[in-house]
Amino acid sequence: MPRLNENYLNLKESYLFSEIAHRTAAYAEKHPQQGAQIIRLGIGDVTKPLGKTVLAALHEGVDAMGSAETFKGYGPEQGYEATRNAIAAYYKRNGVNVDPGDIFVSDGAKSDTGNITDLFGPGNVILIPDPVYPVYVDTNIMCGNEVTFLNGNAENQFLPMPDPKQHADIIYLCSPNNPTGACYSREQLKIWVDYALQNNAVILFDSAYEAFISDPELPRSIYAVEGAEKCAVEFCSLSKTAGFTGTRCGYTVVPRELVFRSSTGERMSLNAMWNRRQCTKFNGTSYIVQKGAEVVFSEEGIRECQENIQYYKRNAKVIADTLEKLQIRFFGGVHSPYIWFECPNGMDSWSCFDYLLENIQVVGTPGAGFGENGRNYFRLTAFGTFEKTTEAMERFVTLFG
Ligand SMILES: *Cc1c(COP(=O)(O)O)cnc(C)c1O
């Protein structure tokens, strides 16, 4: 009999989205008339199709596969040079220097944020924000790591800062944040970078929503902060930027400056380790997808992606303006597709879910699904249509106005 990875027994059952689906279906069955009126603002997935430029490039990639002269087999595990150069140029456009050789193209940020635990041994002090994208916590539990939570709350605007008295080895940060929509300022990230350098720690920075940032003062990459190349890995994704949730492409930056010492004093480069990890366990992102990814970062590609992002952000504004008018305290909704509001009347997040479903047939995501600190909060997303979002907010006004 195989001995199993019993750390899996320590994972909390992930019933969030199945429970939402279950409660919604049960309600609709019992109340068919109201059930037909349900508006879903819990979607954590984009809804707009790929842009024309990307689509044309994907077709080109497909056609190349059909003739012997242009056919591609296994590609470089790190990604094609053209894709890596396009990503580096995109960073440059946003005022950040990243060496294409430090960029690893992948099938998405979930894989990379999850697989990065391969590089670290046991016994680290690992800081993870609460609430946050559940992948960081679950992947650490899977390898038996203990996690220290960084408390996000209304007092710190859901942007926890380091405690200089507390030592850390590994720090996960996500900005703009899923689920809260909160976004760190340059000054705040500088404090994190200085803290990491002082502790000889590594920051694992998830910038999956960087394309939603429109204020030029807010950093879209941790490398916009001085010293970050000496302490930070950055994960990014085309999922929310370019609607690639189903097409699959992401990238991770592991600067060659990230060198730490082994227990016997040997120098170990995270870039070399990640390269070895990817070459051993990953055979690269498909050529076709990389053809599409490359043009996401062209002038025309960026323009097309921004059109969709602006559409989502208009929805976010409708939600934010409504909550403001209703004096419901919320976070996010500006540089993010997420609006994170405090459940009215002291409700916990699942009671709030039922209350909204039963009274105005609006479905969202209970904050409890993202950590203990989300238990009295609720996430709405801007990925619906403008019409449905507006209608949902009209219903909010009748319920809470
Ligand atoms: C959606 C999301 C990602 C992207 O994951 P992909 O695997 O690239 O689709 C990464 N991090 C966060 C916080 C997300 O919300």
The model scores a pTM over 0.85: yes
Euclidean distance between CA atoms 184 and 162, whole angstroms: 13
Element holding 279 (H helix, E strand): helix 270-281
Closest-lying ligand 1 atom to the alpha carbon of residue 132: 13
Counting from 1 in the atom list of ligand 1, the atom nearest the Cα of 109 is 8
Average pLDDT estimate for 81-96: 97
Cα separation, 117 vs 140, in Å, equals 7
Average pLDDT, integer, range 377-384:
98
Instruction: Count other Cβ atoms within 10 Å, centred on residue 95.
Output: 12
pLDDT digits (tens, 9 = 90+) for 160-219: 999 999 999 999 999 999 999 999 999 999 999 999 999 999 999 999 999 999 999 999
Alpha-carbon dihedral sign for residues 270, 275, 278, 281: negative
Partners of residue 194 on adjacent β-strands: none
- CA torsion 284-248-44-187 (nearest 10°) is 60
Lining residues, ligand 1, CB within 6 Å: 108-110, 133, 174, 178, 206, 208, 237, 239-240, 245, 250
Ligand 1 centroid vs 47 CA: distance in angstroms? 15
Q: Is the pLDDT of residue 91 over 90?
A: yes
Using most ligand atoms within 8 A of CB, pick from 237, 285, 340, 383 the residue to mutate for ligand 1: 237
Give the separation between CA 76 and CA 283, rounded to whole angstroms.
8
What is the DSSP secondary-structure string of 382-399? S-S-HHHHHHHHHHHHHH
> What pLDDT band is residue 15 in, cutting at 50, 70 and 90?
confident
CA distances to 17, 87, 358 from 375, rounded to whole Å, are 16, 38, 20
Atom of ligand 1 nearest to the CA of 244: 9
Percent of the chain with pLDDT over 90: 98
**Contact present, 77 and 282 (Cβ < 8 Å):** yes
Tell me the C-alpha distance between 341 and 332, whole Å.
9
Structure tokens at 341: 């509001």
> Ligand 1 centre from 71 Cα, in Å?
30
Q: pLDDT tens, 382-396? A: 999 999 999 999 999
| CA proximity to 236, closest of 221, 225, 219 | 221
Name 88's Cβ contacts closer than 8 Å, sequence gap at least 6.
98, 99, 100, 103
Q: Which of 115, 178, 244 has most ligand 1 atoms within 8 Å of CB, for mutation?
A: 178
On the CB side of 38, how many CA atoms lie within 13 Å of its CA? 22
DSSP 8-state class, residue 372? G
Task: State which of 133, 184, 247 you would mutate to test the pocket of ligand 1, scoring each by most atoms of that ligand within 8 A of its C-beta.
Answer: 133
Ligand 1 atom showing the smallest separation from residue 108 Cα: 8
Q: How far does the centroid of ligand 1 lie from the alpha carbon of residue 27, in Å?
A: 30
Residues 50-75 pLDDT 10s? 999 999 999 999 999 999 999 999 99
Ligand 1 center–CA 394 separation, angstroms:
30
Task: Output the pLDDT for position 14.
Answer: 78
Round to whole Å and give the CA distance between 143 and 138.
9
Beta-bridged to residue 235, according to DSSP, are: 206, 252
Name the nearest CA neighbour of 329 among 207, 190, 201, 155: 155
Count H helices, E strands: the chain?
Answer: 13, 15
Return the ∠ at Cα 122 (arms to 106 and 204), rounded to 5°.
Answer: 40
Q: Quick one: average pLDDT of 132-148?
A: 97
Tokens of 21: 């689906």
pLDDT of residue 44: 86
